[in-house]
Structure 1
Amino acid sequence: MLKIAFDDIYVHSLPAGHRFPMVKYELISAQLLHEGIIGNDSIYSPGLLDEDIILLTHQKSYWEQLRNLTLSPKDQRRTGFPLSSRLVEREIRIARGTIDGCHYAFEYGIAFNVAGGTHHAGSNWGEGFCLLNDQAIAANYLLTNELSTSILIIDLDVHQGNGTAEIFSNESRVFTFSMHGDKNFPFHKEKSDKDIPLDNGVGDEEYLLLLRDNLPEIIDQHQPDFIFYLAGVDVLATDKLGKLALTKSGCEARDRFVFEQCKSRNIPVQVSMGGGYSPNIKDIVDAHCNTYRTANDIFF
């Protein structure tokens, strides 16, 4: 069964000016239900997280500023959001949805969080619409609870996973792999275990060649027993922020290759959806839904 984390708070906790691109979360779920890819029993609404789980990843002083709504105006501007209790709750529930997704991935081979991919949040900062790093929190949860001993984070959002790289810079059990636009946000890059910076305008052929040349070798060398995949669709040529030139079919081929690597090696994978900022919401929803369709084809 394809399990997907979704909650209305993913959209309706955001300031009004930020809701339009995030309507995709509701539209993705509705489209997958319409197609019969999922049923109502596939969707689960995540709860809250205990602070001790958050503090496995984020520094206590930073978390307390979020929790108490005392983050400085400058630091709030860095996140892109005015801070509110509902916004913090949203981030907590997204992180819980990713942790719950790990348990479903152990059971079914794969699970999704329709949101997540908050990879710009570092151990003591928020940035780029990310306050808490959902996949980093989940990875540390797995390690602490001895559910995993070796983790690979595959970040194929168009933006470098700088927060994830910083969080795991001294953690040998987590290998961070990021393919991203070299001349795109964040303009100060952290050092992942493997970074592949891409020039503006890279299209399907070059992108897929680089992925196919690198990912199997990384998996073979690191031998992960769990994989996190950030499947951003801001790599599309239609994306107003991405600066790359992938087609929808190229993006689908990317997802298929990642999922085939996980499935053939019997490695459970949790997927968070990441960015997508094409002006036409249909382009975003179609590309994201292709990720689910491809997973359903390979795993079920």
Structure 2
Amino acid sequence: MILTVTPNPSLDRTYEVQALKRGEVIRAETERMDPGGKGVNVSRAVAAAGRRTVAVLPLGGAPGALVAELLHAQGIEVAPVPVVGDTRSNIALAEADGVLTKINAPGPELSGSEQELLLDTVRSQSRDADWIACCGSLPRGLAPSWYADVVTRAHAGGARIALDTSGRALLEALRARPDVVKPNAEELAQAVGRPLTTVGDALKAAEEVRSMGARVVLASLGADGQLLVSDTGAWFGSARVSAVRSNVGAGDASLAGFLIAGGTGPDALASAVAHGAAAVQLPGSVMPTPADLDPAAVTVTTDVPVDRELREPAS
């Protein structure tokens, strides 16, 4: 079982439009409504693969009730933490050329008692978990050290933990030595305090993040591929993609694919790349099923192309 923790979930509305023009009335071609948040997306991808997952998340108001309903409909067990504030609603505008514009609401502020209940729920639900995936931003009320506390408690209980967050929350958590961290290029650059312009730059940054405490780094480099860096070596994975439809949740699908395949080594990286590549070819934040995957399109190698310039340099 893969347990996911999403401290700041959302109700996501995605609209596909031909082009985004400021100040004009834009008519959407399609509309989707999905439960959102990085950990929620990991659970959705795990469930789509036919595996058991439990999603721990604070939920409040009508948006929170709808998030729980949508998750149940996808076969996901929900361990809700009731909160007074309403769960946030986010909007994504996906243009025909693949450009995505997102508007993310701040979300509710958790009280002291709600924070304790969230930690207690993670503890009670983690007994049967093979992996705990803690993902996303922290809501108002939670200290930057909150993820570090979760990592420490998870390890004390014998669980493995994967972390996908950024900024100070990531830096604080690294001291607790999470088993896996999954930054993107921007988050890597932020963690090491310098820009990344090549795959080699990203590799050095990933190695530095390992020296800061991460046992394994799974780095998403967007269209350039993914890096896996551990104490046994470094691998680079990429995949052929025919057309990008939406990259919402693609990194979360990658993390799910990595954990589903065991969370270690090149085979897990290949699974991560396959899941991420499939996700970007689906609408909105739809998570790929096994039928959507194309393992033959994936390449994993120890020959990391260190001189390759990133198509989207990170600053």
TM-score (norm 2): 0.38
Query: Which of the two has greater helix per residue?
Result: 1
Specify which structure has the bigger relative contact order, considering alpha-carbon pairs within 8 angstroms and separated by 6 or more residues: 1
Query: Which of the two has greater strand per residue?
Result: 2
TM-score (norm 1): 0.39
